[in-house]
Amino acid sequence: MLGARGGVLTSAALIPGHWAKIQVTADQGEVSEALAEQRKLNLPMDALFAEEFPSAVRAAFEMIGIPIGHVLPPVGELSGETRAKLSAAISALKNRNIL
């Protein structure tokens, strides 16, 4: 909507269907609905990028049952606080049938 022709969304690997829905909705000119759907992802996006990439993304995949391995140095594991925030975000996605 702001002129971009594409992007690389780290979270699209985790929740591809919802991001595809947002893209289709935006392409159809339904801006308010697309933004409303994107706002549903605020909590997980905040958690995914609360600490150094890719720790939270790897932890999120593990939380949904797709372990993809641990991060390598110098990147560290997530703090307990961020892990709890991410777990709550994953639960919210599941409760909304987004994940």
- The pLDDT value given to residue 55: 93
- The pLDDT value given to residue 5: 75
Q: How many domains does the structure of the chain reveal?
A: 1
- The pLDDT value given to residue 6: 73
**Domain presence at residue 50:** yes
Global pTM value: 0.85
**Domain presence at residue 3:** no
- The pLDDT value given to residue 10: 83
Residues whose CB is less than 8 angstroms from the CB of residue 23 and which lie 6 or more positions away in sequence, other chains included = none
Range of 57's domain?
A: 14-95
**Domain presence at residue 2:** no
- The pLDDT value given to residue 28: 95
- The pLDDT value given to residue 7: 75
**Domain presence at residue 7:** no
pLDDT averaged per 10 residues, the chain (length 99): 77 92 94 95 93 92 93 91 96 94
**Domain presence at residue 8:** no
Extract the tokens encoding 89: 């975000």
- The pLDDT value given to residue 18: 95
**Domain presence at residue 38:** yes
Candidates 35, 19, 26; CA nearest to 93 is: 19
Candidates 88, 15, 14, 17; CA nearest to 57 is: 14
**Domain presence at residue 6:** no
